[in-house]
Structure 1
Amino acid sequence: MSDLFATAGLDAAAPRPLADRLRPATLPEVVGQEHLTGPDGALTRLLRSHTLGSLVFWGPPGTGKTTVARLLANETDLYFEQISAIFSGVPDLRKVFEAARRRRATGQGTLLFVDEIHRFNRAQLDAFLPVMEDGTVTLVGATTENPSFELNAALLSRARVLLFRALDEGAIAKLIARAEDLTGQALPLTEEARGVLVRMADGDGRAALTLCEEVWRSAGPAETFDAEALQRIVQRRAPIYDKAQEGHYNLISALHKTVRGSDPDAALYYLCRMLDGGEDRLFIARRLVRMAVEDIGLADPQALVITTAAKDAFDFLGSPEGELALAQATIYLACAPKSNAVYSAYKAATRAAKDNGSLPPPRTILNAPTKLMKRMGYGEGYRYDHDEPDAFSGQDYWPEKLGRQHFYAPTDRGMEIRYTERLAHWERLRRERRGQD
């Protein structure tokens, strides 16, 4: 074997990445996924029942999805075949399926592991269905995106989705301890710096081990790094945040709900998470405007002014100074009185408009630009409100077949308190004026 490596110009003992050297050999060695691989874990139970079936592993990077797939193949005596959806097309799939059929004819099953399976389009995903149904392959797909959004229903109905969790600090610490045992050297970090490194990994075991390697490479003899030195050496790992996928929707949802829940500190935290992740600033500005009209409304009409001004300020200042305007608007919205009365009224009025068809307004309030229309009674009896006492006529503006409706119900919060009083005053006048008619 050494001659083969020498011929190829390779060294059989060439250094391997720490993550590869520490790859678990059995399911119980996998850290951070005890709900799947522990004594009572979902995968452990499946192996006991000898009914593995097709699976979809859903979870963030560096949580052991590929490793667990390999271990499952070992545990079930299946041939392990791995492909990546990024580099494979339908012709590649046909070759894989044909090889699996040949193995099946000799009594050897195939566990087909598809990394980044969400990258396949619908037609490519449909190609898996026949070989899953006839048992040609046991499919194990891995995805970092929500399968409900990214995989078609036909495939999901034939596979069980298992959730892989981001590694907690305890699991990351266990990985680091294993790395120290394997290398025979302690990480040259203070306790504080060690904790910072764990947090830098952001739940990704592979990232944690890569950071460890960078630390060992950088450390001189008898050198120990504190937290500040650690951050200088390894820089900062970019947050896990895909602006086009679930992380995008999760964080904007968190921002919206914390504003609605009047928690300015939490709202500012999620805003900064999005900014730090590179989110489109104008997308955030548009969502802030939506919050102003949906969750605050007329309880504080200034909210809409503030948010549109924040958008304009960002356009004017650019980044990074313009982000401060978005932060100011976020805090203002979180601290403002809340009301969805306008939002609810709009939805109710929309339903009424759709459900009742094209009802004509009363002729009293219609213009009569022609003599014919005047003879037909258009505009007859209309009372000009500015000429009435209190600038209020109290006349009926509703289609006769629909009758008077009530959509807007102001709250007792913020400016809407005044609207409640004003509407009640007009309703009293309306009854009085109609009593006089």
Structure 2
Amino acid sequence: MADLFDRDEPARTPAATAPRPLADRLRPARLVEVIGQGHLLGPDGSLSAMIGAGALSSLIFWGPPGVGKTTIARLLAAETDLAFEQISAIFSGVADLRKVFEAAALRRRNGRGTLLFVDEIHRFNKAQQDGFLPHMESGAVTLVGATTENPSFELNAALLSRSQVMVLKPLDSAALSTLLDRAEALEVKKLPLDADARAALIDMAEGDGRALLNMAEQLFRLGGDPMGAAEMALRVSRRAPVYDKSGDGHFNLISALHKAVRGSDPDAALYWLRRMLNAGEDPRYLARRIIRMAVEDIGLAEPEAVKQALAAAEVYERLGSPEGELALAQAAVYLALAPKSNALYRAYGAAGEAARKSGAAAPPKHILNAPTKLMKEEGYGAGYEYDHDAEDGFSGQNYFPDGMKRGVYYLPKDRGFERELAKRLDWFAKKRSEKS
């Protein structure tokens, strides 16, 4: 790897001599200096193969913050001799896009292509995303979009079909450690940390290289003797959790919580619950989702589960945060340890499909009320047997539409309270068979 300091000294203009953040000063100058994305830029990486073949297509970089999306895009332009244009979907509008496309078209007429890097591309609306298509198809621009959100949900199908999605991974501990080594080389001094504090700093970055370097920059300014992990945590402004309550972070974490409960792991359930609460999730939303878990994944295997979930929601309303959040934790643990069954969930879906297919079928006349003489003459209620008057309180009559095969939707699991319900179902089925 090339020495980071063997670079041409920039012209000493006011802009060149102005203070620059450590993360900016350490930005790689070549693709071989990019760390943590070997699956894309290593010898067998997909981006390396494109560059080697001289066939760079439009790309969508999908990954968390601080993993090198902007840097790689800029270096790709240099590697392929494309003019580099950068815009942000947050700050750019139609007029900005028009100027970029006009400049790209002019370059193309002069024999040079343009790599257009669009940060936060998912924030452009459908019409704006469609605006890229003709310029991509004409070859005026090679689009490289960056997004922290799932492209499948946030980007138009037409745009995705003309691009390759490249997934950038969070930086692992080895990559983050290399970043700290580079920072120390650039600053020509060691971070004032002992080994445990250095490891803790890497953990605090959570895979975000930019966040790591920002924290390291604070520590360089502090100087002094090496400090331990506890002191370091007090001295460094820890980065806020990466979490967008309407985006991927939200859906990923609630999915993790739901699956931990379904998987009967109370410790994992508590962990994801705290992750969401720490990130600012609305506890009322979590209360609603916990109720949903009770009816979807537990159901009648443990009828008490939904009561616990409802009680937790009510306790939260009475106490608020943070005391009421403990009730949500209690419900999450109870649900995680409850016997699981999706029998009712499946039965509801199966009944819905049957209802859709036979939605015009009328109930059998013997179970219809006959409040008028005409309805009695038409046979409404004729032959109905009052179950309370029947032996064992069960008449065994048919309650499905005439001509419709009897449906069997609810199939209880051999777990929890549903074992008892399965016995009851078997008894009713036997009686029904005897009476028919």
TM-score bucket (shorter structure): over 0.9
Task: Indicate conservation of the 8 Å contact 2:388/2:394, yes or no.
Answer: yes
Structure 2: tracts of 5 or more residues without a match? 1-8
Distance 1:4 1:267 in 2: 55
Q: Superposition RMSD on alpha carbons, in Å? A: 1.7
State the Cα deviation string for residues 264-311 of structure 1 (Å, max 9, x = none). 111111111111111121111111111111111100011111111111
1:25 aligns with 2:29: yes
SS in 2 for 1:337: coil
Distance 1:2 1:157 in 2: 41
- Please state how far the C-alpha of 1:314 moved relative to its aligned partner: 0.9
1:356 equivalent in structure 2: 358
2:3 equivalent in structure 1: none
Aligned residues between the structures: 428
1:107 aligns with 2:111: yes
Distance 1:152 1:384 in 2: 59
Distance 1:431 1:137 in 2: 72
Task: Indicate conservation of the 8 Å contact 2:312/2:328, yes or no.
Answer: yes
- Please state how far the C-alpha of 1:358 moved relative to its aligned partner: 2.2
Calculate the TM-score normalised by the size of structure 1.
0.94
Task: Indicate conservation of the 8 Å contact 2:61/2:146, yes or no.
Answer: yes
- Please state how far the C-alpha of 1:427 moved relative to its aligned partner: 2.2
2:336 equivalent in structure 1: 334
2:423 equivalent in structure 1: 421
Distance 1:11 1:286 in 2: 53
- Please state how far the C-alpha of 1:227 moved relative to its aligned partner: 1.1
- Please state how far the C-alpha of 1:315 moved relative to its aligned partner: 1.0
Q: Which amino acid aligns with 1:422?
A: R
1:164 equivalent in structure 2: 168
Task: Indicate conservation of the 8 Å contact 1:359/1:401, yes or no.
Answer: no
1:58 equivalent in structure 2: 62
Q: Which amino acid aligns with 1:381?
A: G
State the Cα deviation string for residues 101-129 of structure 1 (Å, max 9, x = none). 22222222211111111111111111111
Match of 1:14 among 2, 8, 18: 18
SS in 2 for 1:359: coil
- Please state how far the C-alpha of 1:51 moved relative to its aligned partner: 0.8
2:199 equivalent in structure 1: 195
- Please state how far the C-alpha of 1:13 moved relative to its aligned partner: 2.4
State the Cα deviation string for residues 172-219 of structure 1 (Å, max 9, x = none). 000000100111111101111111110111111111110001112223
State the Cα deviation string for residues 325-384 of structure 1 (Å, max 9, x = none). 111111111100111111111111111111113222222221111122222222223222
Distance 1:66 1:200 in 2: 22
1:41 equivalent in structure 2: 45
Match of 1:244 among 246, 249, 268: 246
Counterparts of 1:11-410 in structure 2, within 5 Å, are 12-219=16-223, 221=224, 223-410=225-412
Task: Indicate conservation of the 8 Å contact 2:86/2:118, yes or no.
Answer: yes
Task: Indicate conservation of the 8 Å contact 2:263/2:336, yes or no.
Answer: yes
Q: Which amino acid aligns with 2:426?
A: A
Q: Which amino acid aligns with 1:293?
A: V
Q: Which amino acid aligns with 1:340?
A: N
SS in 1 for 2:360: coil
Q: Which amino acid aligns with 1:310?
A: A
SS in 2 for 1:60: coil
Distance 1:267 1:140 in 2: 37
- Please state how far the C-alpha of 1:11 moved relative to its aligned partner: 6.7
Distance 2:136 2:201 in 1: 42
- Please state how far the C-alpha of 1:152 moved relative to its aligned partner: 0.6
Calculate the TM-score normalised by the size of structure 2.
0.94
SS in 2 for 1:343: helix
Structure 1: tracts of 5 or more residues without a match? none
Q: Relative to 1, partners in 2 of residues 1:381 and 1:115: Cα closer, same or farther, differing over 3 Å?
A: same
- Percent identity over paired residues: 61
- Please state how far the C-alpha of 1:312 moved relative to its aligned partner: 0.9
Distance 1:347 1:79 in 2: 55
Distance 1:160 1:191 in 2: 41
Distance 2:63 2:233 in 1: 27
Distance 1:397 1:267 in 2: 42
- Please state how far the C-alpha of 1:15 moved relative to its aligned partner: 2.4
